[in-house]
């Protein structure tokens, strides 16, 4: 319908929609940041485009390997594509800011629209398309949501009526990534079901849904036919391990269980630490209630997490210094409850006998009341 | 007062009249007080407390000696360690309570953390080039004599502590301080120079007229008398006492209990004196009924009539060890005219107050005696402040041990000042 004059006024976006050759990181590894979007208080999505008129082709669940130039040092990091291949003009990665994580902090603080990064890929075998099934169960923990989101978005964009139960485990309602989009998908599609579970309330929202660790009874409530589903799991290693054990114990056919794992050994020490730190915050066991009697604050403390750490995450500041059980700065009275305490001389057995504990290295084994 | 340009203290030391009390400046001058703190309390073994002050690992006590504050702590191997109570970061005082329990020793200011060997084990934010091994707590020399804790602030402490320990150990050991507890502790601030407090302790000339309670169990004869001035009755008493000492010592030494006098008051840098003294009446303890105050006897004792072992150390302590309890005294100068006397009553660690001992009965004699002595020391200080004061003659019969204290004192001062 366009006449010759109209061509001069054409919006450049029109050209983008004409498509183009498939982007190949081997021949041109530069991607341009087009936008940065906030997902949660500590998760951002970075939208990336090729420099030339190319389009992306990949399987949902695959990842790109990036090379970031951070303080003059080239650091490599894999990020799963969170966007769907049904929208080929851009790819997005969705990154949680990890305390002490050099890459995630650099991305959050420095990657702005217009900046470029190097990437190769896509790569990876973790995709529902490699295991066709009528019914899927997606189990995601924390930022492990990204490959499963890519899969869910793909089916949704294609209006493909696969029966999908999408489960996401988060720290608090404020940490549920893509929450409104998943709720919208569930509302629009009868075959898409979304269930979230949280380990704690967030400051602005009390959580009324599933709480704590993913258990079999919980799974039955979410999808009573879960045994018949193809299961895809992605999340922190302990989360995946717990799920694996739970499914195996329940007699699930483990050939139909798939999990995303990346080669941890390839990461630098600092990155490994950052990953471990990120993983430490995921609910992989029981969650205990910890009440601070003086300030009347209540937090949830997952099994295996020191009380001080859980308090910090919940924004409750307590006196502390070494966080190693040496200095006793966090010494507090345990009014009720039991903890496992591995300290380094910062407290005496007599003090423990008298009801004192070191919050930095006390891991709850029951609900607690702490005099603070 | 000290108007001579040439080291007036040296002159005062050199011109001290033997057999007489000291010149007034020794009791009232702030300058001499400062010299006392540096030369006497800074360079000798100072008695500060007992092992039951820090009975278990992690128990700590702080001891003030003049401007110094020292941490005495029981380590995990049941040893006793002592450190200057000064953080190696910016020097903040670390422990503030006289008695406390710690895991590690932590300075609250910036949470610098030291283990019980004094090693710095945690200091945040100090950078990669910071060497923690160079920033341990500064050590203070500490020794335990059968449970009596002595500190020395000097770089090089007097070497003769071991000689005292070798001689005194067998006397004190049977009383088994390690298995006692502090039943009661009292601080009394005396309005007098520390030397007057010590001089007062070193004689019993004043006992008959001032200590109605103490002289019930205690024979003043034990500390000398002038025989040619005594009437018939007194002489008979003195005779009786001499026999009692002879018989008791034979009896006690026969049962393996060292009792005879050892007197090293002015012949040693670490001066001391000891003797196991018979007591009047039942002869068991410093109580008004002269009987044991606690039913649970100390150590291996099966009977209580062992009198009271007297032990003195220069410059600042005296002690009475009985079969059932121990009374121990630590003198600490505050300023030229003020002195703290800290008294502790120790009983068997398993003795139960109100069951095995009555606290009032246990502490009655020495509480009264301390109050009386405090008043007397105050009088002596008031007199020394008067321009009319002049050194007075000590009784050769009843105050020869006071003379030994003064001789030790001026000798040690002279040794450090150079003659």
Q: Which residue has the higher pLDDT, A71 or A280?
A: A71
**Range list of H helices, B145-263:** 161-172, 194-201, 207-210, 232-254
Whether residues B67 and B212 share a domain: the answer is no
Instruction: Check if the beta carbon of residue A284 is closer than 8 Å to that of residue A276.
Output: no
Q: Which of A321, A328, A350 sits opposite B124 (nearest CB)?
A: A321
Going by pLDDT thresholds of 50, 70 and 90, the confidence category of residue B70 is: very high
Q: Looking at the partner chain, which of B58, B108, B122 has a beta carbon nearest the beta carbon of A322?
A: B122
Percent of chain A with pLDDT over 70: 91
- The residue range of the domain holding A294 is 281-371
Q: Find chain A residues with C-beta within 8 A of B106's C-beta.
A: 327-329, 346
Distance, in angstroms, between A347 CA and closest chain B CA? 4
Domain count, chain B: 2
A327 contacts B104? CB cut-off 8 A: yes
Q: How many Cβ pairs within 8 Å bridge chains A and B?
A: 48
Look at strands B308-313 and B272-277 and give their pairing.
Answer: antiparallel
Asked whether residue B104 is assigned to any structural domain, the reply reads yes
pLDDT in tens, B310-348: 999 999 999 999 999 999 999 999 999 999 999 999 999
Q: Is the pTM of this model over 0.75?
A: no
Burial of A27 per CB tally in 10 Å (0-12, 13-18, 19+): exposed
Q: Which of B57, B58, B111 sits opposite A321 (nearest CB)?
A: B111
Whether omega for the bond prior to residue B315 falls within 30 degrees of 0, making it cis, is yes
Whose structure tokens read 């891991």? A363
Q: Which candidate from B56, B57, B106 shows the least CB-CB separation from A327?
A: B106
Per CB distance under 8 Å, which residues of A are interface residues toward B?
321-322, 324, 326-329, 331, 343, 345-348, 350-351
B244, B380: one domain: yes
Contacts with A43 (C-beta within 8 Å, 6 or more apart), sequence order = A94, A95, A96, A97, A143, A175, A177
Q: Is the same domain home to A99 and A42?
A: yes
Count of structural domains, chain A: 3
- DSSP H helical ranges for B146-231: 161-172, 194-201, 207-210
Same domain, A251 and A228: yes
Split at pLDDT 50, 70, 90, the class of A268 is: very low
The two tokens of residue A161 are 């009526």
User: Averaged over B245-267, what is the pLDDT?
Assistant: 96
Contacts of B110 in chain A (CB under 8 A): 321
Residue A30 gets the label, from left (phi > 0), alpha (psi -120 to 50) or beta, of beta
- Residues of chain B found within 8 Å of residue A323, distances taken between Cβ atoms: none
Q: Is B155 left (phi over 0), alpha (psi -120 to 50) or beta?
A: alpha
Residues B233, B113: one domain? Answer: no
| Nearest in space to A284 (alpha carbons), one of A159, A163, A142, A178 | A142
Partners of residue A347 in chain B, C-beta under 8 Å: 103
Report the pLDDT averaged over residues A53-81. 88
**Which of the residues A319, A322, A323, A350 would you substitute to probe the B interface, choosing the one with the greatest number of B C-beta atoms within 10 Å?**
A322
Whichever domain contains A295, its CATH number is: 3.10.20.30
Extract the tokens encoding B280. Answer: 């009047």
Nearest CA in chain B to A322: B122
- For residue B163, how far is the Cα from the chain centroid? 18
Task: Using an 8 Å CB-CB cutoff, list chain B residues near A342.
Answer: none
Which pair of tokens denotes residue A1?
Answer: 């319908």
Taking 70 as the threshold, does the pLDDT of residue A266 lie above it? no
Q: Is residue B153 part of a domain?
A: no
Q: What is the pLDDT of residues B151-182, one digit of tens each?
A: 999 999 999 999 999 999 999 999 999 999 99
pLDDT one-digit tens code per residue, A79-116: 999 999 999 999 999 999 877 677 888 999 999 999 99
Instruction: Using CB atoms within 10 Å of the CB of residue B155, give its burial: 0 to 12 exposed, 13 to 18 middle, 19+ buried.
Output: exposed
Q: Which residue of A has its CA nearest to B124?
A: A322
Site from B60, B110, B113 to mutate, A interface, most A CB atoms within 10 angstroms = B113
Residue span of the structural domain in which B335 resides: 170-417
Instruction: Tell me what the pLDDT averaged over chain B comes to.
Output: 95
Residues A114 and A201 in one domain: no
Neighbours of A21 (CB within 10 A): 12
- Quick one: B128 and B211 in the same domain? no
Residues of A in contact with B56 (CB under 8 A): 348, 350
Q: How far apart are CA A58 and CA A44, in angstroms?
A: 22
Q: Which residues pair with B272 in a beta bridge?
A: B313
Decide if A10 is inside a domain: no
Residue A279: which pLDDT band, with cuts at 50, 70 and 90? Answer: very low
Please report which helix (H) or strand (E) contains residue B140, including its range. none
Work out the average pLDDT over A14-19: 83
In what order do the strands lie in the sheet containing A287-292?
Answer: A297-302, A287-292, A368-371, A331-336, A356-358
The answer to whether residues B289 and B392 belong to one domain is: yes
> Which residues on chain B place their C-beta less than 8 Å from a C-beta of chain A?
56-58, 101-104, 106, 108, 110-111, 113, 115, 121-122, 124
Q: Does residue A128 lie in a domain region? A: no
Is B107 within 8 Å of B92 (Cβ atoms)? Answer: yes
Residues of B whose CB is below 8 A from A362: none
B135 and B227 co-located in one domain: no
Q: Cα–Cα distance between B82 and B112 in angstroms, integer?
A: 18
Q: Within this chain, do residues A149 and A240 fall inside the same structural domain, yes or no? A: yes
Tell whether B205 and B353 lie within a shared domain.
yes
Structural domain includes residue B27: no
pLDDT band at B287 (very low <50, low <70, confident <90, very high): very high
Structure tokens that stand for A83 in this block: 């966007």
Residues of A in contact with B111 (CB under 8 A): 321-322, 327, 329
For position A94, which CATH number holds?
2.40.30.10
Do A139 and A252 lie in one domain? The reply is: yes
- Token output for B174: 């049977």
State which residue of chain A sits closest to B105, comparing Cα positions: A327
CATH number at residue B103: 2.102.10.10
Q: Is the pLDDT of residue B246 over 50?
A: yes
Percent above pLDDT 70 for chain B: 98
A1 pLDDT more than 70: no
| Sequence-separated (6 or more) residues with CB below 8 Å from residue B367 | B186
Q: What is the mean pLDDT of residues B187-209?
A: 96
Q: SS3 letters for chain A?
A: CCCHHHHHCCCHHHHHCCCCCECCCCCCCEEEEEEEEEEECCEEEEEEEECCCCECCCCCCCEEEEEEEECCEEEEEEEEECCCCCCCCCEEEEEECCCCCHHHHHHHHHCCCCCEEEEEEEECCCCHHHCCCCEEEEEEEHHHHHHHHHHHHHHHHCCCCCEEEEEEEECCHHHCCCHHHHHHHHHHCCCEEEEEEECCCECCECCCCEECCCCHHHHHHHCCCHHHCEEEEECCHHHHHHHHHHHHHCCCCHHHEEECCCCHHHCCHHHHHHHHHHHHCCCCCCEEEEEECCCCEEEEEECCCCHHHHHHHCCCCCCCCCCCCCCCCCEEEEEECCEEECCCCCCCHHHHHCCEEEHHHEEECCCEEEEC
The domain that holds B284 is classified in CATH as: 3.90.380.10
| Range from A51-65, A172-186, A248-262, A353-367 carrying the lowest mean pLDDT | A248-262
pLDDT at B126 over 70: yes
Q: Is residue B330 part of a domain?
A: yes
What's the pLDDT score for residue A140? 95
Question: Is A267 contained in some domain?
Answer: no
Cβ count within 10 A of residue A2: 9
- Does the residue B137 lie in any domain? yes
CA dist B327 and B317 (Å) reads: 11
Best mutation target, A329, A332, A348, to test chain B (most B CBs within 10 A) = A348
Condensed to tens digits (0 to 9), the pLDDT of residues B76-108 reads 999 999 999 999 999 999 999 999 999 999 999
């Amino acid at each position: 319908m366009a006449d010759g004059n109209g061509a001069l006024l054409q919006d450049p976006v029109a050209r983008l929609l004409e498509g183009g050759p498939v982007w190949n990181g081997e021949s041109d590894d530069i991607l341009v940041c087009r936008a940065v979007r906030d997902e949660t208080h500590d998760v951002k999505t970075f939208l990336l485009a090729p420099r030339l008129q190319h389009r992306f082709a990949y399987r949902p669940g695959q990842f790109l390997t990036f090379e970031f130039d951070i303080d003059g040092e080239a650091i490599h990091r894999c990020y799963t594509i969170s966007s769907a291949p049904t929208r080929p003009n851009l790819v997005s990665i969705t990154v949680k800011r990890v305390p002490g994580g050099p890459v995630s902090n650099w991305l959050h603080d420095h990657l702005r629209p217009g900046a470029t990064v190097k990437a190769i890929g896509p790569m990876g075998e973790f995709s529902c398309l490699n295991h066709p099934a009528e019914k899927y169960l997606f189990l995601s923990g924390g930022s492990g949501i990204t490959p499963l989101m890519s899969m869910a978005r793909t089916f949704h964009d294609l209006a493909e009526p696969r029966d999908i139960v999408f489960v996401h485990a988060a720290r608090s309602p404020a940490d549920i990534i893509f929450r409104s989009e998943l709720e919208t998908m569930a509302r629009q599609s009868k075959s898409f079901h979304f269930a979230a579970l949280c380990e704690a309330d967030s400051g602005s929202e009390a959580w009324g849904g599933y709480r704590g660790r993913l258990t079999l009874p919980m799974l039955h409530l979410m999808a009573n036919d879960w045994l018949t589903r193809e299961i895809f799991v992605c999340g922190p290693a302990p989360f995946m391990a717990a799920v694996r054990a739970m499914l195996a114990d329940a007699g699930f056919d483990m050939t139909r269980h798939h999990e995303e794992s990346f080669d941890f050994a390839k990461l630098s020490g600092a990155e490994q630490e950052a990953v471990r730190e990120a993983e430490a915050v995921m609910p992989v066991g029981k969650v205990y209630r910890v009440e601070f009697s003086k300030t009347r604050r209540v937090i949830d403390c997952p099994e295996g997490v020191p009380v001080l750490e859980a308090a910090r995450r919940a924004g409750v500041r307590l006196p502390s210094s070494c966080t190693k059980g040496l200095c006793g700065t966090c010494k507090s009275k345990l009014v009720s409850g039991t903890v496992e305490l591995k300290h380094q001389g910062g407290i005496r057995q007599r003090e423990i006998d008298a009801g004192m504990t070191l919050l930095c290295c006390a891991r709850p084994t029951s609900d607690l009341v702490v005099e603070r | 007062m000290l108007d001579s340009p040439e080291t007036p203290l040296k002159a005062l030391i050199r011109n001290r009249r033997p057999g007489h009390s000291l010149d007034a400046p020794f009791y009232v001058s702030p300058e001499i007080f400062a010299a006392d703190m540096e030369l006497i309390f800074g360079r000798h073994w100072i008695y500060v407390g007992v092992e039951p002050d820090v009975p278990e690992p992690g128990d700590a006590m702080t001891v003030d000696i003049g401007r110094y504050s020292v941490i005495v702590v029981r380590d995990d191997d049941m040893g006793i360690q002592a450190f200057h109570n000064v953080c190696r970061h910016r020097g903040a005082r670390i422990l503030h309570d006289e008695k406390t329990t710690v895991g590690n020793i932590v300075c609250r200011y910036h949470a610098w953390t030291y283990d019980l060997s004094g090693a710095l084990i945690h200091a945040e934010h100090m950078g990669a080039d910071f060497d923690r091994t160079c920033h341990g707590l500064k050590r203070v020399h500490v020794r335990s004599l059968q449970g009596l804790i002595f500190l020395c602030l000097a770089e090089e402490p007097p070497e003769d502590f071991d000689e005292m320990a070798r001689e005194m150990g067998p006397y004190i050991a049977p009383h088994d301080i390690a298995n006692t507890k502090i039943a009661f502790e009292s601080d009394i601030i005396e309005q007098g120079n520390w030397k007057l407090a010590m001089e007062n302790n070193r004689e019993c000339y004043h006992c008959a007229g001032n200590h109605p309670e103490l002289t019930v169990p205690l024979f003043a004869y034990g500390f000398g008398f002038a025989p040619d001035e005594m009437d018939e009755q007194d002489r008979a008493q003195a005779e009786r006492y001499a026999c009692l000492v002879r018989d008791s010592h034979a009896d006690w030494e026969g049962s393996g209990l060292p009792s005879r006098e050892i007197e090293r008051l002015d012949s040693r840098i670490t001066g001391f004196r000891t003797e196991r003294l018979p007591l009047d009446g039942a002869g068991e303890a410093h109580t008004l009924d002269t009987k044991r105050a606690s039913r649970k006897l100390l150590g291996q004792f099966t009977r209580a009539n062992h009198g009271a072992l007297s032990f003195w150390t220069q410059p600042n302590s005296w002690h009475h060890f009985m079969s059932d309890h121990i009374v121990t005294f630590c003198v600490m100068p505050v300023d030229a005219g003020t002195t703290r006397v800290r008294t502790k009553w120790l009983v068997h660690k398993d003795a139960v107050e109100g069951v095995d001992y009555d606290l009032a009965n246990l502490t009655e004699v020495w509480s009264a005696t301390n109050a009386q002595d405090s008043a007397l020391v105050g009088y002596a200080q008031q007199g020394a402040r008067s321009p009319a004061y002049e050194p007075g003659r000590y009784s050769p019969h009843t105050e020869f041990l006071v003379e030994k204290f003064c001789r030790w004192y001026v000798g040690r001062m002279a040794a450090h000042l150079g003659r």
